[in-house]
Structure 1
């Protein structure tokens, strides 16, 4: 097996660093950016960051003081997986999902701290408002008029396979250090993506082990590295990840906490592109080649190359979903699709 020298990752170019003195400066950066950037220390004043600087236990106590009394979903990895939450040899998950109260989960984390053989404990994308009282109010960045989903990620050392997300993302390291390796969206072919219907957390992931890349099996990964960037976030640092950029994430310390904001520039009532991809796999991919070519033309006409000429010959009041979508027409289209899919 030909393996890449691990030092190659340390030699990747760093993510661009910028400054944001206030909310207006951050807003301007987020509005104009189409590539990743880092703002160092922008959340250094957070009480959670300050607690983490005292100790991991102080950070856990701070979180517990704000946690609601409800069950949290947690991933428990198998011993000896090096923190990599991924597939096993049979393409099942190498971790199990369960529910428990946060005090119990924090006790597991504390018990395993410093033990190399301790299983990975990982809470991913926990809604800050639903699961905590007052935590977001005391630890947040001013995101302006953006309609954001605020989430928290808590756990022991972990490696999350390269994946991407449709929303834009501002990720803030609160406790512990995080390493991000990022790739432009067009690198998906060189990341050797896994199944789309059997994923660790709902998003398709790269099958490449970034700690031991097999360049015989995944030769194009070397090409992906040519456009990769890397950054290690310290507590209080924030990273902007543009929509659909691929990112491999590692929690490097014994206890790690990250807070992130997700938002889309498009209305929430629009459909999710991933759903359209799944439907195309169901309805188009396995058609005869000539029919598939026709549907490619139809998609170009109505979706990818659509302009005013598509519906110019139809009375304006009768264009339906060929007009720019509104919440009402989007709702009717969604209802129609649900009826069709349920037949």
Structure 2
């Protein structure tokens, strides 16, 4: 069973590894059957002790929260639900919103879809640069006081924004992309989190499946799978280069008698007790494999061997093909410039 750890200094306790639920309903091809995904989620909770379940209103949109709401019936006391708001899609146009009315409406909608009285960890999914983070945080603070959310998180925020948000109400977790080939956050964002006692939740810790299967990850993917359309690291010459990285990872994993994916996850687990990765999967066998990473121990020399290969600039290609798909290290409008919500 997964061990339980304090994710942040505010008291949030979660399993040492979480479960990302996005791919069950969104982005990685057609949605998977609810019955199969409910079985997987309950297996993760009941058999492996995984308690942190990650979703968002944007996944679907909405269908992933509905799925999770069904899955946690009867086991609510065993899990911590993490959901997110802030990505607004209308007429196929994607924007980011952090104005108070939107924050509240999103929270109310997520509570209904999840069929819970309180969301354990509620993230700002993407930062709205037009709204001072203090304004967004004041509404989140009010939702905490009302008992609708317990803890507040940020995703893809800059160090300055994290500090400004934390000054209004304690931030319990920052979600960011962190893996063997995505290490930019180690310079400033992660040190900022540690300075403030904020937990770190890496998403895509397996490089969207690349560290589990290498180039074979592309085989049999649906045309609607984002990895076929929006992942430069899996395209053409970039893939040829990155496959060499995977081959080296495979060699290291063979020496450790584990899988490449387990080694990639174990490297993250060895970054500190404040790090809780949330690998996603839709298959029980992959879930078990990912869970097995918790049993892989690495010494200082082995960590150095891994990092000699997977340094910050090791990968060919950007994180996303269309960089408006993410807002990395987002700064927000200064508070003194904020006048009225009508300025949005």
Larger helix percent: 2
Larger strand percent: 1
Query: TM-score normalised by the shorter chain: which range applies?
Result: under 0.3
TM-score, normalised to structure 1, is: 0.27
TM-score, normalised to structure 2, is: 0.27
Question: Looking at CA atoms only, which structure, 1 or 2, has the larger radius of gyration?
Answer: 1
